[in-house]
Amino acid sequence: MNNVMMISENLLKTYTAINENVQSDELRFCILQAQTIFIRESLGDNLFAKILDLIDTNDIMLPANAKYKTLLDTYIQPTLISYSYYLGLDNFAVKWVSVGLVSNRSEQGNPVDFKMFQYMKSNAKNQAEFNDNLLRRHLIFRSGDYPEYTSGNLNDGQLSPETKSPFKASLTLPGAGYYWKKGRGAVGYLCGDSPFPTWYSSANNSPGAHS
């Protein structure tokens, strides 16, 4: 598991209900697990590796990488915060100690019951999937801004980006998915299963100039 994190532990605390007194090392696993499972799936291996490399070298701050910085700040980080919190609920509900699994108990409050825990998990998942949906929509519409999103050879074990919406709502978009060979304006090979109709964008998914 790569130890480069796309968000900090303090950022996770700031935008969730996690208390300030929670140790950072307790949160690190949640963050790394969430970005490896969920963010990697949405970005695909190539773009995922690109973002990690830019963070690791601090090149993400260079003007030439402004679009990657926007992608990270506006779409990746909110999604990762939500998923880290979602996974963290399990990690903090119980602890694995030498005698086995034990439930956490608070000195200042009562533990939530299972029904409340299920509600919190469901609510956290809904928020995470909504943010993930915004991330995937942005990548599809602006794929021309991120060459790594549609590059790569699928035959050597690379994970292609998942373009289908993770968020299941009663309101659905019109139209059906198009494969890359079907019609003008198709979204390309790696986005072949995209649920977005071709009239949402041009052939390269990034019509016009982006500032």
Q: Show Cβ contacts of residue 189 under 8 Å, excluding neighbours closer than 6 positions.
A: 150, 180
- Chunked mean pLDDT (size 10), the chain, 211 residues: 86 89 85 94 93 96 96 97 91 56 55 78 91 93 91 71 70 43 46 48 45 41
- Biggest distance spanned by C-alpha atoms of the chain: 63
Res 107: pLDDT: 52
Res 116: pLDDT: 82
Res 159: pLDDT: 81
- Alpha-carbon span 204 to 10, nearest angstrom: 38
Res 110: pLDDT: 62
